[in-house]
Amino acid sequence: MKKIAIFGSTGSIGKSLLNIIKKDKKDFKIELLTANKNYKSLIKQAKFFDVKNIIIADNNSFLITKKLLKNSKIKVFKNFESLNKIFNINKKIDYSMCAISGFQGLKPTLDIIKFTKTVAIANKESIICGWNLIKKDLKRYKTYFIPVDSEHFSIWSLLNNDKKNNFEKIYITASGGPFRKLSLKKFKNISIKDALKHPNWSMGKKISIDSATMMNKVFEIIEAKKIFNVNYNQLEILIHPNSYLHAIVKFNNGLSKFLVHDTNMIIPIFNSIYFNTDKKLRSKNIDIEALNNLNLKTVDNIRYPAIKILNNIGEKDSLFETIIVSANDKLVDLFLKNKIKFTDIANILLKICNIPEFNKFRSIKPKNIGEINDLVNYVSLKTDAMCV
Ligand code: NDP
């Protein structure tokens, strides 16, 4: 029986993982589930899967949950400090999924590494802003890491644990979002509703806007650079409208391999939890039509100016990446509140990249979470002020 923990179990990734586990409930013992505010769903999950421990981060929701579970065997905790009370470093659990959204995902990701044999990370902010810290802890506690973001999961599968870096280049694909064919003249009038209409994936608002601006791919390139320890010139984005092909790796021996699967996060999630087993996933046959219509193109920085940000980031891991993630978070929020235009997102981000005050962060590696959080808050306020 695999012992597991799911951080962000009430979210889209968390629920997909629970749906996989539901099919073989007896093979798993869920030690911990977590949520922020959604106590109703968390309590339901905990009861259904017979979970002993839950963490609910929002204070009000914690108090309600505590009251509701007063006479239950389920232990309710409020913050991630409590991991020390739940887990034992000498008896590591088998698998943990880190699927909390946003910057708040970094702390629990760092906290669980010492208590788990394998950590699967979906949360992009953890990797972009905290990879330096995560990498150290993975090594220190001998914890195995599996990336869950679909492109990174594909690259990881193609590299097949190759630690020698026997490859020259990695290509990741982008659908091009809802504005792949929109006349450039119409960009200034893009509405919130238009920007939320992703052609292939059904996702939350924030990530849908990031797909429309291409910031999602900018983040994925930064993630890939860190996870696979390559230079930016070894990474390229290719537009691929039907999102069937996720990544291509060109190896040193002349071979190139690519990975295709349906646009369904179940596939990377399933393979992360059943890694190294011969467990079968019922899936569709190969989509010949999609293969015949790969239609790959290089990405155009006039349509997608956000990708120019990649020329502004230095090769070294630094706090500069945190600036970009935080500013983008704020800008997406302002766009969704109708306070700025769609085109402002990339334009302001490019301005932020050139603010002299931020230059020094290009050579500073994050030393702890406090440093990352302080910078996130500062950049958020600064970005807000730039948009008034
Ligand atoms: P959701 O927004 O659907 O779920 C987020 C989860 O995190 C929920 O359980 C939520 O709890 C919890 N949460 C949110 N804020 C906090 C907080 N402050 N403290 C503690 N818990 C919190 O996100 P997704 O499942 O879609 O994505 C999770 C991560 O995976 C993101 O970083 C995303 O970028 C990444 N990802 C997602 C993909 C997808 O297809 N969905 C694909 C690839 C990567 P509550 O329900 O109570 O709000």
Per-residue pLDDT of the chain (388 residues; tens, 9 = 90+): 999 999 999 999 999 999 999 999 999 999 999 999 999 999 999 999 999 999 999 999 999 999 999 999 999 999 898 899 999 999 999 999 999 999 999 999 999 999 999 999 999 999 999 999 999 999 999 999 999 999 999 999 999 866 677 999 999 999 999 999 999 999 999 999 999 987 776 677 888 999 999 999 999 999 999 999 999 999 999 999 999 999 999 999 999 999 999 988 999 999 999 998 999 999 999 999 999 999 999 999 999 999 999 998 888 889 999 999 999 999 999 999 999 999 999 999 999 999 999 999 999 999 999 999 999 999 999 999 999 8
Kindly report the protein residue whose alpha carbon is nearest to atom 4 of ligand 1.
Answer: 11
Residue range 63-86, pLDDT digits in tens: 999 999 999 999 999 989 889 999
268 lines ligand 1 (CB under 6 A): no
170 within 8 A of 248, measured Cβ to Cβ: yes
Query: DSSP character for 74?
Result: -
Q: Are 29 and 3 in contact (CB under 8 A)?
A: yes
β-strand pairing of 28-35 with 53-56: parallel
CA of 144 to the centre of ligand 1 (A): 22
* Residue 230 DSSP symbol: -
CA of 13 to the centre of ligand 1 (A): 7
**Torsional class of 142: left (φ above 0), alpha (ψ -120 to 50), beta (otherwise):** left
Q: What is the mean pLDDT of the chain?
A: 95
Task: Read off the DSSP letter of residue 92.
Answer: -
**E-strand stretches of 99-234:** 116-121, 144-147, 167-174
Residue 123 Cβ inside 6 Å of ligand 1? The answer reads: yes
- What token pair was written down for 204? 């939350």
Q: Residue 316: its pLDDT value, please?
A: 87
DSSP β-bridge partners for residue 238: 173, 298
Please report the beta strands in 190-343, taking only residues with DSSP state E, as ranges in sequence order: 235-239, 245-251, 256-260, 297-298
**Cβ–Cβ < 8 Å for 349, 324:** yes
> Does the predicted TM-score (pTM) go above 0.75?
yes
What is the layout of strands, in order, in the sheet containing 116-121?
A: 75-77, 53-56, 28-35, 2-7, 93-98, 116-121, 144-147
Distance 9 CA to ligand 1 centre (A): 8
Find the 85 Cα to ligand 1 centroid distance in Å: 24
From the number of C-beta atoms within 10 Å of its C-beta (0-12, 13-18, 19+), residue 114 rates as middle
Question: How many other C-beta atoms are found inside a 10 Å radius of the C-beta of residue 362?
Answer: 16
In whole angstroms, give the CA distance from residue 202 to residue 20: 19
Helix (H) or strand (E) holding 3: strand 2-7
Instruction: Quote the tokens at residue 124.
Output: 């992009």
Ligand 1 contact, 38 CB (< 6 A): yes
Q: Is 11 in the pocket of ligand 1 (CB under 6 A)?
A: yes
* Residue found under tokens 């399933």: 270
Residue 205, amino acid: K
Q: Is 124's C-beta closer than 6 angstroms to any atom of ligand 1?
A: yes
Q: Tell me whether residue 373 is exposed, middle or buried, using C-beta atoms within 10 angstroms of its C-beta: 0 to 12, 13 to 18, 19 or more.
A: middle
Distance from Cα 8 to the centre of ligand 1, integer Å? 6
Helix, strand, or coil here: 156?
helix
Cβ of 207 closer than 6 Å to ligand 1, yes or no, is yes
Contact between 36 and 79 (Cβ < 8 Å)? no
Tell me, what's the pLDDT at 299?
96
Dihedral angle, C-alpha 260, 266, 270, 273, nearest 10 °: 120
Give the integer Cα–Cα distance in Å for 220 and 246. 12
57 touches ligand 1 (CB under 6 Å): yes
- Does 108 sit in the ligand 1 pocket, CB within 6 Å? no
Helix, strand and coil in the chain, % to nearest 5: 50, 15, 35
User: Hey, CA dihedral for 309, 310, 315, 318, is it positive or negative?
Assistant: positive
